[in-house]
Chain A
Amino acid sequence: MDWSQIDLRTVGVLWNQALQNAGIAPPLLTVINWVVAAVVLLFVGLNMVIGLIWLERKIAARIQDRLGPNRVGPFGLLQTVADALKLLTKEDVTPTDADRITYNLAPALAVFHVLMTLAVIPFADGVIGADLNVGVLYIVAFGSVGSMAALMAGWASNNKYALVGGFRVVAQLLSYEIPLVFAMMIPVLAAGTMRMNGLAEAQGQFGGLGWYVWVMPCAFFIFLAATLAEGERAPFDLLEAESEIVAGFNIEYSGMKFAWFFLAFFLNSWVLSAIGTTLFLGGWQGPFVDRIPALGVVYFFAKTMVMFWVLAWIRATFPRLRIDQMMDFCWKFLVPLALVLLVGTAIILKLGLPSPFDGLALLVWNLALLIGGFWLLGKAQQRAVYASKRAFTPQLPRL
Chain B
Amino acid sequence: MLEQYGFIAILALIAAVFPFVGLAVAWLLRPKRPNPLKNSIYECGIETIGETWVQFRAQYYLFALVFVIFDIEAIFLFPFAVAFNQLTLFAVFEAILFVLILAVGLIYAWRKGALEWQ
Contacts and interface: CB of A to CB of B under 8 A. Distances in A.
Interface of A: 30-31, 34-35, 37-39, 41-42, 87-97, 104, 107-108, 111-112, 115-116, 118-119, 129-133, 136-137, 155, 157-161, 163, 167, 171, 174-175, 177-178, 181-182, 185, 188-189, 192-194, 246, 251-252, 255-257, 259-260, 323-324, 327-328, 331-332, 335-336, 339, 342-343, 346-347, 349-351
A350 B83 CA distance: 12
Contact of B34 (A93, A116, A188, A332): A93
A331 B103 CA distance: 12
A7 B16 CA distance: 31
Interface in B1-25: 1, 3-8, 10-12, 14-16, 18-20, 22-23, 25
Q: Which of A30, A129, A189 has the most CB of B within 10 A?
A: A189
Contact of A95 (B5, B40, B67, B81): B40
Given A132-B4, A167-B56, A252 B42 contact: yes
Q: Main SS of chain B's interface residues?
A: helix
Contacts of B96: 343, 346-347
A205 to B, nearest CB: 15
A88 B19 contact: no
A129 B12 CA distance: 12
Of A246, A324, A343, most buried by chain B (CB within 10 Å of CB) is A343
A197 to B, nearest CB: 12
Contacts of A323: 117
B86 to A, nearest CB: 8
Q: Which of A38, A89, A182, A257 has the most CB of B within 10 A?
A: A38
A171 B99 contact: no
Contacts of B25: 88, 256
Contacts of A188: 78, 81-82
B37 to A, nearest CB: 10
Given A171-B60, A189-B81, A119 B71 contact: no
A95 B41 contact: yes
The 7 A-B residue pairs with the shortest CB-CB distance, nearest first, are A256-B26, A108-B19, A115-B15, A130-B4, A324-B117, A38-B11, A192-B85
B44 A30 contact: no
Given A30-B3, A111-B18, A104 B23 contact: yes
Contacts of A182: 74
Given A91-B31, A328-B117, A37 B7 contact: yes
A178 B7 contact: no
A175 B7 contact: no
